Amino acid sequence: MLEMTIPPDTVSLGCYQRHFLARIDKRIVAYIEGFAADGISYRDNFAAFERLKLLPRMLKNLAGATTQINLLGRRLPSPVLIAPMAYHRLVHEAGELATARAAALTGHILTVSAQSSVLLEEIAEQGAALWFQLYPRRDIEESYDLMARATSHGYRALVITVDAPLSGLRNVEQRAGFVLPEGVSAVNLAGYGLEDIPVRRAGSPVFQGMLDGAADWDMLRRLIDRSSLPVLVKGILHEDDALCAVEAGAMGVIVSNHGGRILDGVPAPIDVLARIVRKIGDHVPVLLDGGIRRGTDIVKALALGARAVMLGRPVLHALAVGGVQGVAHMLTLLQTELEMAMALCGCATVDDVNHHLIWNENRDQG
Ligand SMILES: Cc1cc2nc3c(=O)[nH]c(=O)nc-3n(C[C@H](O)[C@H](O)[C@H](O)COP(=O)(O)O)c2cc1C
């Protein structure tokens, strides 16, 4: 695989983003960095973390400290997973193969998107622990087929994304004129039917059948019933939907606004997390993504009840800038930040990270 040099001033996830923005074709930047409509939710994903403050405790015994977690019956070294993202080959020739190698090197789970630009079967050969994400297909047999392919290739869990029956108002991409370059495509889906519905009348195409056959709770239940792998439902913001997902048989819920890429004007996941955990927290693990860029962000998410977090765009930034080494380095930087943040908060384990760490201005500090 291509050797790439990581610029020496790359000391945080933000540095990877800076180098990515400077190096990569503007149309591809528009797709990866892009958000829905005006980016209100995209920006709020970061602002919401900035609004939250930590109230650390001193002089705790930190001997034997660890970031290990239990998730779906397995012990994982870190509460950070790689979020599903389409088309890694947009930024690196080896695409998801390189990301998987970095995940294997650092012990992180990679969630492979159904829209990956490398076959899910080939990604499975890189030795990483994998989850597989799919958008429910109109033809449920196609979803079943994808699930069977992932299951038979050793994927450990399925993520069903429910917040994107449409791909969102991608004005940033439209302005930049983004189209998939030659040679990059959703190769896993090549054998299935086209999901595009022909537009018959002038005017808005959205209600001209685009949503006919889109997933509903009944379809989700059928997919979960069919799966021999644990299923997590991704893209939940309302606590009642979280409960519906659990009642449908989900083994986990991923609180997410898709990195601000689908519906603009929705709250940041970190702002709705505690409500969701209150509603379902004891039953299944709750994960969160959107705006995680620092170790302190992870601590804030864990403190508000997340079992783990997922990391999106920074993985593609690092892949673009440094290939396998870049992603491994970026994940290691974040792991170091997490350990520092836990240590400075007085937490030896993730169980010590709880809501008492969140500063509440209204609390009587007496
Ligand atoms: C370029 C790109 C492609 C994405 N593709 C998918 C996808 O195929 N499936 C999915 O469930 N989410 C997808 N997402 C959303 C991510 O899984 C995740 O929710 C989001 O990126 C988290 O926010 P962050 O980028 O601020 O970390 C994509 C995000 C980006 C940036």
Pairing mode of beta strands 74-76, 69-71: antiparallel
Span 101-129, average pLDDT: 98
The mean pLDDT value of the chain amounts to 96
Closest CA to 348 of 68, 106, 80: 68
What pLDDT sits at residue 41?
98
pLDDT exceeds cutoff 70 at 2: no
Q: pLDDT (tens digit, 9 = 90+) per residue, 300-321?
A: 999 999 999 999 999 999 999 9
Q: What percent of the chain has pLDDT over 70?
A: 98
Region for residue 76 given its phi and psi (left: phi exceeds 0; alpha: psi -120 to 50; beta: otherwise): beta
Closest CA to 248 of 284, 282, 273: 284
Q: pLDDT (tens digit, 9 = 90+) per residue, 227-260?
A: 999 999 999 999 999 999 999 999 999 999 999 9
| pLDDT confidence band for 3 (50 / 70 / 90) | low
Span 21-44, average pLDDT: 98
What pLDDT sits at residue 4?
84
| pLDDT confidence band for 130 (50 / 70 / 90) | very high
Q: Please state, in angstroms and rounded to a whole number, the distance separating the CA atoms of residues 269 and 107.
A: 25
Q: Tell which one of 261, 310, 330 to mutate to probe ligand 1, the residue whose CB is within 8 A of the most ligand atoms.
A: 261
Residues contacting residue 6 through CB under 8 Å, at least 6 positions apart: 321, 322, 325, 326, 329
Span 169-176, average pLDDT: 97
Name beta bridge partners: 130: 110
Of all atoms in ligand 1, which is nearest to the CA of residue 159? 11
Q: Can you tell me whether residue 119 is helix, strand or coil?
A: coil
Q: Please state, in angstroms and rounded to a whole number, the distance separating the CA atoms of residues 96 and 147.
A: 18
Span 100-111, average pLDDT: 98
CA 290 to ligand 1 centroid distance, Å: 8
What pLDDT sits at residue 1?
59
Task: Tell which wins on pLDDT, 21 or 212.
Answer: 21
What pLDDT sits at residue 209?
82
Residue 84 beta carbon below 6 angstroms from any ligand 1 atom: yes
What pLDDT sits at residue 281?
81
Say if CB 331 and CB 106 are below 8 A apart.
yes
Residue with tokens 């991923």: 254
| pLDDT confidence band for 366 (50 / 70 / 90) | very low
| pLDDT confidence band for 364 (50 / 70 / 90) | low
CA 310 to ligand 1 centroid distance, Å: 9
Q: Please state, in angstroms and rounded to a whole number, the distance separating the CA atoms of residues 334 and 296.
A: 10
pLDDT exceeds cutoff 50 at 199: yes
pTM value > 0.85: yes
pLDDT exceeds cutoff 70 at 274: yes
